Amino acid sequence: ETGVTQSPTHLIKTRGQQVTLRCSSQSGHNTVSWYQQALGQGPQFIFQYYREEENGRGNFPPRFSGLQFPNYSSELNVNALELDDSALYLCASSYPGGVDTEAFFGQGTRLTVV
Amino acid sequence: DAKTTQPNSMESNEEEPVHLPCNHSTISGTDYIHWYRQLPSQGPEYVIHGLTSNVNNRMASLAIAEDRKSSTLILHRATLRDAAVYYCILTKGTYKYIFGTGTRLKVLA
């Protein structure tokens, strides 16, 4: 186990609703990245938070937003859910040491939009 | 970030070595080569990374071509537990990984 925990593990939402996913990073890690993984595809980078500030964003619309808290845990919020938002959402935390370290991924939250 | 190219799938017999190739012809001098793997129903797991020299750790070895335009992940003795999707990623250390579709490794008993 990596020490990165995500909640909930599964949830089902209706199109148009809003959802909040949570990630508790590994102790000492101040950087959290979020990824979306559609079935059969590799994870796609959504955005990254470093010390509570957004630090880079992938090709996702503004209805995908996030927060990072002083304890470095993080939330991913998705508004106006669409059917194509159904995916596994992964968070990864990383140590502030830079290039010579690894990122630790959580088990993911499986979101189904109906 | 520069792109990588990997075969879609590979097969190996249990207890035999596996060589997983990755092409990255547009790699820049500051790009690190990272390998992650994703077991079924789990998040990606770090395997190994390197810059220029070959690297070994308890999980695998990474062989990097002299021109750095390709690399090979080597699993010395494949086990059933090694069946996973393996991703080769180039990164400048920002952890903003660009994943491809990876190589699905099947291990035959």
Give the B window 72-91 contacts with A, CB below 8 Å: 85, 87, 91
Q: What is the pLDDT of residue A102?
A: 85
Distance from CA of A32 to the nearest CA of B (A): 9
Can you give chain B as a three-state secondary structure string?
A: CCCCECCCEEEEECCCCEEEEEECCCCCCCCEEEEEEECCCCCCEEEEEECCCCEECCCCEEEECCCCCEEEEEECCCCHHHCEEEEEEEECCCCCCCCCCCEEEEEEC
Q: What is the pLDDT of residue A96?
A: 63
- What is the count of residue pairs from A and B with beta carbons less than 8 Å apart? 59
Query: A54: number of CA atoms within 13 Å, CB side?
Result: 14
Do B96 and A41 make contact, defined as CB atoms within 8 angstroms? no
Other Cβ atoms within 10 Å of B79 Cβ, number: 12
Do B93 and A2 make contact, defined as CB atoms within 8 angstroms? no
pLDDT digit string, tens, across residues B45-87: 999 999 999 999 998 999 999 999 999 999 999 999 999 999 9
Distance from CA of A42 to the nearest CA of B (A): 5
* A39 and B CB contact within 8 Å: no
Do B95 and A105 make contact, defined as CB atoms within 8 angstroms? no
Mean pLDDT of B83-103: 90
Q: Does pLDDT of B14 surpass 80?
A: yes
Give the A window 70-109 contacts with B, CB below 8 Å: 90, 92, 94, 98-100, 102-108
Query: What's the Cα-to-Cα distance from B98 to each of A20, A51, A69, A84, B7, rounded to whole Å?
Result: 24, 22, 25, 20, 17
State how beta strands A74-78 and A64-68 pair: antiparallel
Q: What are phi and psi of B81, to 5 degrees?
A: -70, -15
Mean pLDDT of B77-99: 91
Contact B1, B55 (CB under 8 A): no
3-state secondary structure of A83: helix
* B99 and A CB contact within 8 Å: yes
Q: To the nearest whole percent, how much of chain B has pLDDT over 70?
A: 98
State how beta strands B32-38 and A10-13 pair: unpaired
Q: Any idea which residue has 């939330």 for tokens?
A: A75
Q: What is the pLDDT of residue A27?
A: 81
Residue B17: pLDDT band (50, 70, 90) is: very high
Q: Which residues in chain A come in under a pLDDT of 70?
A: 1-2, 96-100
